[in-house]
Structure 1
Amino acid sequence: MATNDFLLGPVLSFRGVGQDGTWKVTALIGIREGAEVPKLRVEGRACAAPTQLLIIRKERYLRYDLSCKAHKDERRVEYGVEGGPLWHFTVPGKDFAPRMAYVSCNGFSDPAGMRRLVRPANAVWEDLLVSHDKLLRGRALLDKEQLWHEVRIHDKGLQRFHVLLMGGDQIYFDSIWEDIPELKHWVSLARAEQLKFSVSTTLERKIEAYYFTLYRQRWLSEKRRPWGTGEPNRDAADALARIPTVMMWDDHDIFDGWGSYTPEMQRSPLFQTLFRHARRAFWVFQMQHALDDLPELVDGTPPGFSSQDPILTPIAWSMRLKKDSLALPLLDNQPGFTSVFQAGPLALVVADLRTERSRTQVLGAQTWRQLKDWLSKLDTSVAPRHPGTRCQHLLFMSSVPVAHPKLGLAEGVLDNVGQDHVLDSSADDLRDHWSHDDHEGERKRLLEVLSETARLKRLRVSLLSGDVHVAAWGTAYRRDLPASETWAQIQQFTSSAVVHPSLMGVVERLFLGVLNSSARTPQTIDVQYNVEMMLFPGQSKYVMPARNWLALELDVGNDEAKLWATWRCETETAFSNHLQTVPPARQG
């Protein structure tokens, strides 16, 4: 079968590390129903028959197992279609932390905004892939002051990324309001009519088709050169085929602002229909699970009980997916998709901040309970045969920044206007933020849970965020402890966007000035916690209005680990480097 017959893929997905040290990776490929099933090979051996995830509208989506053993040293693994193009991904050495790249906002909410870009839409993806291919990644990512680090990695050879973290808005479905005539009409209705709007069978079919079709249109554009012909495209599809991904959705993977509308609108028939099909498509395309394995969400609100927040019945994922040896490591007994990983000295929490979101809630009670339980059991002991590989750093992926300039005046104004307007994102964008007054208590809870984990487990915690279309650096810290207690300092790295334009227009530039002004003032959470924006590395401002991506490397030695975080920010002529480090956890 020719790869130019692919409807989608290959899209690699990282599934975690097996108990025997297996580096578990899958590949998603879409073909036309009735077409010959591609035969894939990995490391010269034939892959097992693929798992069928979905057949819909004469399209068939398959998942292949590309898992392989981790060896003492890292290595490049070759895979491809028999008689067709080949791709590669890189597996880290056993018990080593993976090198990672982080991106968010892979798309656009308004096509007109893309016309304002001074460089091609895929320029940031191209820079990431060029850096991924460099023999000495240090030369691309580290400034001259870190020359020692470049020299240290010189003898390692290839320094490719092992995992691509995608923190939300992997696809933008905002266009659904314009492209489906019935929804375009719905937007023009009075609010009372919108709330009682009935979804016909015909409309539901159109909605389902839209969510399942847009992935192949956006993730493997018909305009790109087919696989194996000419120079690499160096676009998102290239990256997804060469670096195993970890994905978590945010609002645009559903539609702009999902979760921050009024309770009445969130529960309306139309919104619930849209969410249901966005969830099903997310499960197949981003999480690479069979659609038949996805249970419907069940409303667990007790009879006669009224609440603004959704009370959803937890799902026993371990039982639901027990027959799938390549199931994602989903946190058990939660209604959402929060996942947890551990690879050598690094742990990763990929938080689902959308399934249970409301105006006054980010995560539900059961998810909080299960998250705290998993963190309490996090293994930070030293492996007997591998000293120095104990878990030393926890990364928490939060699609929406925990540390971000607080715009109190704007919140007060927008809380009373712009409600439930699906084409006006200003109000819901602010309500989405952890710093919004409605979420402030839950933000404090998150910081308490993470800092207590850092104290008890003797590790550092860092936050990875996207969403806001700027690069930024923030920190949350305990006011009642000296600076020598580094475990109590949680740094946040915001990287956004990889495709979506940054703040470019006149009004947006004015908003940028407001952000920088507000960022000067630390946010006092309570007597213990402060959240503070830091000057962006190498800049005299707090937020960097540029498309960007983030490189992450955990440098382990002598039972201590330092995290290197480097933003690559787009300029009109090149890309600039902005480096920040997180030193090892210390207790005074």
Structure 2
Amino acid sequence: MTSNPTQLETSHKSWFTQLPMDNYLQSVVDTAPDKIKGEKEDACPSDYNLGDLSIACGPLVRFLASHENDSNNYRGSILLVVRNFDSNQKIPIVNFAVGPSIQNDISKEFFLNFFDPLKSEIIHHEKEFTFFRYFFQFELQDYEQKVKYSVSKFTLPHYQFYIPTKYQSMNIMSFSCNGFSLGTDTESFKGSLWLDVIRKHNNPNFHYHVMIGGGDQIYADSIKNISKKFQEWLKHKHIHSKEKLTQDMEDSFDDYYLNRYISWFGKGYWYGTVGKTIQSILPIALATIPQINIFDDHDIIDGFGSYSDITMRQEIFAGVGQHAFKYYMLFQHHTPYNESPQNESSWIMGKTKGPYITENSRSIFAKLGKSIAFLGLDCRTERTKHQIVTSSTYDLTFDRLEKEIHNSIQAGKQIKHLLVLLGVPICYPRMVFLERIMDSPLISPILYLARKGIIAHGLVNEFDGEVELLDDLNDHWCSHSHKLERNKLMDRLQKFGERHNVRITILSGDVHLCCASRFRTLKSADELNPKNDPNFILNLISSAIVNAPPPDGMVKFLSMRARKHIFHFRIAEDMVPLFDYEAGSNNHRDHPLFMNKRNYSDIIPVENLSKEYILKHFGETTNKYFIPGKVVVNKEASYNDAAENMSAFKSKNSAIGYPLEEDGIIATIHVENSTENPKSETSDYEIVVPPLEAKELTSHC
């Protein structure tokens, strides 16, 4: 990565103000050797230097927690990976300058806080790489703050992030599938949606305070090509072999994951079997928007956890998961995998070790500001073909949620929205009939010929010789293996939300297209007003920010399978017709339920938006209903009047009205207009999610 680091002068105030906000995006672009600058993609970019430090990866900023124990705190960490650090060099230090996010005549009167250098901690050393971790904590104020930081007295334009006021909830960006599948031809993808993320982040109306990774933050499937030892085993093994995991093979796994993260998180460089790409806006985003992540199969290898038990328990295959977990913890959580979990209160630790990754599962709870809580459920560490999460982990998770709800009420900071991150959609078209076909003994002769390479060798995977698509189907919550577990989880979530007046919204990715689905009460008197419906739960599905979308035929196929289902008595689940119009044009779409274009999403509290923004997007009043997508019902006054005005739209869209209120949130899917445009512009598809109508609160603790 080329860069122009600035060495700080003695005046800290000039350091804080040297980069006006309106020049921020341009300065980021100027320091980023992305495709928009025409850099060649033949090789991974080199490290960049800060003084005598060779920065291989980072800084990576991680968000940990806020509003803990009746406080207005904000916690996080920074990870820095330095190449060839030796004892003659000074330990890199990190300094912070913190002040109001908007510099104007009024804010100049505010006192700027300058913090002593953060304590540097070496958490890992491997080959030529040294991993430095820095914990930080700030006090939330009455105004939004900008945090600028330096490394060893050097800074870059993107060495900054934003934290909300103590009265606000955070502006949240969410993404998944951050990489290409191994065989993708990248030639037609001229832009990077990470550029659009930075563009939105630079919006004067709001900045992203946190960035949620919903899984597949890195694509590690190429381990089967890069690790020669693993490749040899795959070529010559017998299915379900008892071959042992050797030290040479373990070393090759370590070498692969270490360098894959250094290349992708550090340089934005990816390569597969038929294509390469440089998306160097990615490491800039990772340095300027604090992250909170869970992992999914591609952070390990395609389908990990969803193959047959005898395949998953092979020592070599399980070893892939074990080594992937090590680097997932290091790069995505700034944590050595063997570090005591007692050091971090945001973890929800499973009681027992996983069946294949022999580590305790790590789900995450964090308050994203005053009234939004986040639960990232670890759906991979404990996963088997017949289980996603153990019963004991579910119990621990809901116990933690009950405790946090009770504490928030006691502190006068009631949680009004709970975002639940599940890597794979929980409300999605059923594919059970395909599972039955692929599991049927009738296709065994075809599979035998494919395994021998006589016909369509790509029909089967190299791990267990089953149909290649079957692991993806087994991953889904609606598969026949997971359906009962899925229904129990949704039942607990719905009852939890109703008991505590908390609106639950589920975030998912994985499927390489975007859509929205929902649970809601049927035949309710309040059907047009979901704020009174405790069973109304939206599943926002946003995928992929980098990977190639599926063909149009998949959208047509999914639309045919997208039927309304009865979850249980009086509760329905269906897809939301969000995409009536094509991204980047006014062309009407035949299949409004799914959009097969690259995308990411955000969640913005209504209260964080300016009056000008609301007027521009929603009109002159907040007492309205909004159909998902672009349709606005311009009827003011009572909900009943609005209901009459909506009747013409209801049969067409099968949609209920969503009122815009101060305690609500706006969920937006940003869809790429064209892969040919290096500017990576997007179209917005919005859903307003109202709070759950308040009733007398009980803690139930």
Number of the residue aligned with 2:6: none
2:428 matches 1:359: no
Q: 1:16 and 1:475 mapped to 2: Cα distance?
A: 29
CA contact (8 A) 1:380 1:391 kept: no
- Cα distance between partner residues in 2 of 1:478 and 1:217: 48
Alignment match, 2:656 = none
Per the TM alignment, residue 84 of structure 1 is displaced from its structure 2 partner at its CA by: 1.5
2:202 is aligned with what amino acid?
D
Q: Deviations over 1:342-383 (max 9, x none)?
A: 231111100100001111111012101101212222326776
Task: Report the residue type matching 2:685 in the other structure.
Answer: H
Partner of 1:83: 153
Query: What's the counterpart of residue 405 of structure 1?
Result: 429
Superimposed CA distance per residue, residues 109-154 of structure 1 (whole angstroms, 9 cap, x where no aligned partner): 225332342x22xx20000101101213xxxxxxxxxxxxxxxxxx
In structure 2, what is the equivalent of residue 534 of structure 1? Answer: 576
Q: How does 1:331-480 map to 2 (within 5 A)?
A: 331-334=348-351, 335-342=360-367, 343-379=369-405, 389-416=413-440, 421-422=462-463, 425-479=468-522
Structure 1 counterpart of 2:486, which letter? R
Moved more, 168-177 or 528-537: 528-537
Q: Secondary structure at the match of 1:79?
A: strand
Deviation at 1:51? 1.9
Q: Does 1:180 align with 2:180?
A: no
For residues 256 and 3 of structure 1, do their structure 2 counterparts lie closer, same or farther at Cα, with a shift above 3 Å needed?
A: farther
Q: Distance in 1 between matches of 2:381 and 2:361?
A: 5
Quote the offset at 1:189 in angstroms: 3.6
Once residues 432 and 349 of structure 2 are traced to their aligned partners in structure 1, the CA distance between those partners, rounded to angstroms, is 37
Name the CA distance, whole Å, in 1 between partners of 2:607 and 2:204. Answer: 21
Say which SS state the counterpart of residue 236 (structure 1) adopts.
Answer: helix
Q: 1:525 aligns with which of 564, 567, 575?
A: 567
User: Which shifted more, 23-32 or 207-216?
Assistant: 207-216
* Residues 587, 532 of structure 1: alpha-carbon distance in 2 compared, 3 angstrom cutoff: farther
After superposition, the Cα gap between the structure-2 partners of 1:511 and 1:414, relative to the gap in structure 1 and judged at 3 Å, is farther
Give the TM-score, by structure 2 length: 0.70
Aligned counterparts of 1:381 and 1:190: Cα–Cα separation in 2: 54
Q: 2:182 corresponds to which residue?
A: 110
Note if 1:260 corresponds to 2:306.
Answer: yes
Distance 1:195 1:542 in 2: 44
Whole-angstrom CA distance in 2 between matches of 1:459 and 1:421: 45
Change (3 A) 1:34 1:4: closer
Choose 352-361 or 179-188, whichever is displaced more. 179-188
Larger radius of gyration: 2
Q: Does 1:93 align with 2:140?
A: no
Cα offset for 1:162? 0.5
Task: Indicate the residue corresponding to 2:536 in structure 1.
Answer: 489
SS of residue paired to 1:438: coil
Q: 2:226–2:256: 8 Å Cα contact kept in structure 1?
A: no
Which fold has the larger relative contact order, with Cα–Cα distance below 8 Å and residues 6 or more apart in sequence?
1
In structure 2, C-alpha distance between the alignment counterparts of 1:501 and 1:267, rounded to whole Å: 31
User: Hey, what's the Cα distance between the residues in 2 that align with 1:370 and 1:271?
Assistant: 29
**How do 1:218-237 and structure 2 match up within 5 A?**
218-221=264-267, 235-237=281-283
Say if 2:427 and 2:574, in contact at 8 Å, map to a contact too. Answer: yes
Q: 2:361 aligns to what SS in structure 1?
A: coil
Instruction: Give 1:77 shift.
Output: 0.9
Q: Secondary structure at the match of 1:373?
A: helix
Q: State the alpha-carbon separation in 2 of the partners of residues 480 and 450 from structure 1.
A: 21
What is the TM-score normalised by the length of structure 1? 0.83
1:153 matched to which residue of 2?
none
Give 1:234 shift. Answer: 6.1
**Percent of matched pairs sharing the same residue:** 23
Pairwise CA distance, 1:523:
2.6
Provide the residue aligned with 2:201 in structure 1.
Answer: 132
Matches of 1:205 and 1:328 in 2, distance apart? 32
Counterpart among 247, 251, 254 of residue 297 in structure 2: 251
Q: Which residue of 2 aligns with 1:302?
A: none
C-alpha distance 478-216 of structure 1, shift in aligned 2 (>3 A): same
Aligned residue for 2:232, secondary structure, equals helix
Q: Quick one: which of 543, 556, 561 aligns to 2:594?
A: 543
Gaps of 5+ in 2: 1-49, 98-113, 271-277, 352-359, 441-446, 448-458, 582-590, 609-659, 696-701
1:432–1:258 Cα change, 3 Å: same
CA–CA separation in structure 1 for the residues paired with 2:268 and 2:598: 24
Bigger shift: residues 75-84 or 346-355: 75-84
* Secondary structure class of the residue paired with 1:289: coil
Change (3 A) 1:480 1:280: farther
Give ranges in structure 1 of 5+ residues lacking alignment.
137-158, 225-231, 294-319
* Equivalent residue runs for 1:182-201 within 5 Å: 182-189=229-236, 191-192=238-239, 194-201=240-247
Summarize deviations over 1:460-484 as a string: whole Å, max 9, x none.
1000001111011100234485535
Q: For residues 516-572 of structure 1, what are the alpha-carbon distances to aligned partners after superposition, in whole Å with 9 as ceiling and x for unaligned?
A: 2111x1133343543211112444421111111111112359996211011110012
Contact 1:260–1:428 (CA<8 Å) still a contact in 2?
yes
Q: Rate the CA distance shift 1:478–1:445 in 2: closer, same or farther, 3 A.
A: farther
